Structure 1
Amino acid sequence: MTDTQHTDAGHTAAPPSRRRRTEPDGARPREAAEGPLLEVRDLKKHFAIKGGALRRVIGQVKAVDGVSLSVNRGETVAIVGESGCGKSTTGRTIIRLEEPTGGEIIFRHPELGPVHLEGADSKTMDKVRPRLQFIFQDPMASLDSRMTVGRVIAEPLVINKVLKGQALRDRVAELLTIVGLRPEHASRYPHAFSGGQRQRIGIARALALEPDMIICDEPVSALDVSVQAQVINLLEDLQERLGLTYLFISHDLSVVEHISDRVVVMYVGRVVETADTKDLYTRPLHPYTEALLAAVPQPDPRNRHTSEPLRGEVPSPANPPSGCYFHNRCKYAQQKCSDETPELREIPHGQGGSDESAARPRLVACHFAETLELTGAVVPSPEAFRAVEVDAAEPTTNGEHR
């Protein structure tokens, strides 16, 4: 996307504007809230397994089991891993769509200061949620098919009593323009749009209350590849213009490499590696990260992977293996890996990190991270995404682009 986006012939979308918030008397300014915007410490989410005639609890599915991460203002942190690793549950638990079993979730609200979301009451959450929004994976399922697009986008503003009347209609038109759609689309229903356009509507709804942070739960996984690039470009442009912070959840490492500043790798509910994006892709320290990078498609036949595919299946979070959860699939595993659980520990600077990221710690949960020589990945350059021209044309009668 450029500063002006053509949505159809003869119509040019104006660049979005960041409207100044009015801070109440005595409110803390944004700069006063020191530390990461979001900080998660030892987060856990366990689901009970019930059985028998009395439906007693006979086990636990440890979907999220001790996840720790932080997201700084203006940063994009990605959570990656195979399906079932707990990354989406982590995002939903952070925003309290799922109630956490344990741990801390600290969101540094500019007026309230550091807020512990895991124990916050409904009144506190009502104040926090406008600042912390969510984009869902399935754009159609996340939109009410009985409501017009205008009502869908206006709903957060109506519920929070922010705007009404003509001001509300003007704000909806502005949000549609920001995401590359036309103001007159407000009168249509979600089924009249393509998948990429529906996701733009979901993004507009998330922007309605001018949040500080958006959790993006696989926002492009349900879209065609060309449309994925359009939506990713839109998210990046919005971040730059509006000063947004993203927690980006995905299994597509080529997309993650393009959009993220740091990457958190999860496996069976636990974090196994955290690093700056460049370091992670060029010099992974955990064998699971190496396996994920080996699965990234290579468009250049000269850069084909020679490593063997990852063997075995993801273990059940209800009955994980002993020691390192990855040891039964790891070609580097030794006896220690099955006997002892590796702690997530910091790797000294100079080992597996670039000089540019020396100020930020690199974490890995592997007994032999310092001695393994793992292979990184060559991924498509950012220009490959920017080469895709954004097309927000009016949908045809069957909901597809013209």
Structure 2
Amino acid sequence: MTEAETAQRPVTDEPLLEVIDLKKHFPIKGGLLRRTVGEVKAVDGVNLTVNRGETLAVVGESGCGKSTTGRTILRLEQPTDGQVIFHDSELGAVNVESADRRTMERIRPKMQIIFQDPFASLDSRMTVGRVIAEPLLINKVLKGQALRDRVAELLKLVGLRPEHASRYPHAFSGGQRQRIGIARAIALNPELIICDEPVSALDVSVQAQVINLLEDLQDRLKLTYMFISHDLSVVEHISDRVAVMYVGRVVETGTTRELFYKPKHPYTEALLSALPQPDPRNRTEAVPLTGDVPSPANPPSGCYFHTRCPYAQEICSTETPPLRDIPDETAGPGVTRQAACHFAEQLDLKGALVPSAETAGGTAEAR
């Protein structure tokens, strides 16, 4: 996202969502009596803050816990431990993890999700109009003609026609189905939408259309996004800040420009080195990573990344580095960002952006 585009959208420093030491462990059953013999640590102590009006991207390899984090925040999965604080203008700071049923009924309409698979997330037995109307009916917001008018308005808002309300999901393409899913997500005028890889199942040309739609709706409706993705090209375009996850933990956070220009964690450097560059003059060799991603059921001691890190030293295998504030020389004096690496200040890591030749210290462009 360009600086001009960001300036048009009101991004504040006021937190809308705070995730504190969030954990989600799935039990491993074994033996004749199906006793618990271990745990899969899908989310293992995640700390995040999402400010009002911004887009926070969560990136990482498949299986790192991105989607489980999003689902646990919404309590589609019950957390094992930790806190999820949603800042509501009426209720104040609500701990979603421990809120009672009545409180959750008031909070849920303000926290919605766009699912990854547009083919599986829509009920094939319902018409499109019923799919979009369902959250309005469940929450007893509208009925009758007012409900039908609202469905027609939502369809037009996402680029579809009101007469599509009488058709069934099988009559639509993947991109159109995802637009229907987006219409359902915004039906209750939410404040936060968790986008769980919303374009990964779509063709590239359709991806651009859906991304542009999400940006347009964010400006119109004052939405806040938590954008889960493994596509760094999409993340670079849409996000204000980025959080990088590895084996259930956040290893680095920072603004999109800072993180893409000068990463502070070796894993982030490896991810950025794999980002395709259309200009052959700007292509560089990918950072080699040895070994496989550790199993979340049996993660290594110390830093989870030390088994694959080309910069690992003895301390990395014995002590777990906390996600800590470190100076950010690219953003100016006194500015900090976060990284979970013992040597974040010493390492000189390569990013996917280089300073623009037009301005000495300003914008950045693709390497």
How high is the TM-score relative to the length of structure 2?
A: 0.91
Which of 273, 281, 290 is the aligned partner of 2:269?
Answer: 290
Tell me the SS of whatever aligns to 2:29.
strand
| CA shift for structure 1 position 308 | 3.8
| CA shift for structure 1 position 49 | 0.7
Deviation digits for residues 254-304 of structure 1, max 9, x if unmatched? 100111110000000001001010000000000000011011111111111
Tell me the SS of whatever aligns to 2:45.
strand
Matches of 2:173 and 2:327 in 1, distance apart? 48
Give the AA of the match of 1:176: L
Partners of 1:298 and 1:378 within 8 A in 2: no
Matches of 2:295 and 2:256 in 1, distance apart? 28
Which of 59, 67, 82 is the aligned partner of 1:80?
Answer: 59
| CA shift for structure 1 position 330 | 0.8
1:59 paired residue number: 38
Matches of 2:232 and 2:101 in 1, distance apart? 36
Give the AA of the match of 1:314: V
Matches of 1:37 and 1:260 in 2, distance apart? 16
Moved more, 118-127 or 95-104: 118-127
Alignment of 1:27-176 (within 5 A): 35-176=14-155
Deviation digits for residues 97-117 of structure 1, max 9, x if unmatched? 000000010001121111100
Give the AA of the match of 1:147: M
Matching of residue 276 in structure 1 with residue 278 in structure 2? no
Which of 354, 357, 369 is the aligned partner of 2:331?
Answer: 354
Matching of residue 240 in structure 1 with residue 219 in structure 2? yes
| CA shift for structure 1 position 35 | 4.0
Matches of 1:311 and 1:194 in 2, distance apart? 40
Matching of residue 374 in structure 1 with residue 353 in structure 2? no
1:223 paired residue number: 202
Partners of 1:76 and 1:245 within 8 A in 2: yes
Identity %: 76
Give the AA of the match of 1:370: E
Matches of 1:36 and 1:72 in 2, distance apart? 4
| CA shift for structure 1 position 307 | 3.4
Partners of 1:77 and 1:247 within 8 A in 2: yes
Q: How big is the alpha-carbon RMSD for the aligned residues of Structure 1 and Structure 2?
A: 1.5
Deviation digits for residues 364-397 of structure 1, max 9, x if unmatched? 0001111111110149x9xxxxxxxxxxxxxxxx
| CA shift for structure 1 position 349 | 4.2
The unaligned stretches of length 5 or more in structure 1 are 1-33, 382-402
| CA shift for structure 1 position 92 | 0.1
How high is the TM-score relative to the length of structure 1?
A: 0.83
Give the AA of the match of 1:362: R
Matches of 1:354 and 1:237 in 2, distance apart? 28
| CA shift for structure 1 position 152 | 0.1
Matches of 1:343 and 1:193 in 2, distance apart? 47
Deviation digits for residues 138-172 of structure 1, max 9, x if unmatched? 01100000000000000000111111111100000
2:318 paired residue number: 339
Give the AA of the match of 1:142: S
Which of 285, 288, 294 is the aligned partner of 1:306?
Answer: 285
Give the AA of the match of 2:195: C
Matches of 1:219 and 1:305 in 2, distance apart? 29
Alignment of 1:311-330 (within 5 A): 311-330=290-309
Give the AA of the match of 1:372: L
- Following TM superposition, the consecutive aligned residue runs of length 4 or more in structure 1 with deviations greater than 6 angstroms are none
Change (3 A) 1:358 1:79: farther
Give the AA of the match of 1:300: D
| CA shift for structure 1 position 311 | 2.7
Partners of 1:38 and 1:108 within 8 A in 2: yes
Partners of 1:303 and 1:378 within 8 A in 2: no
2:365 paired residue number: none
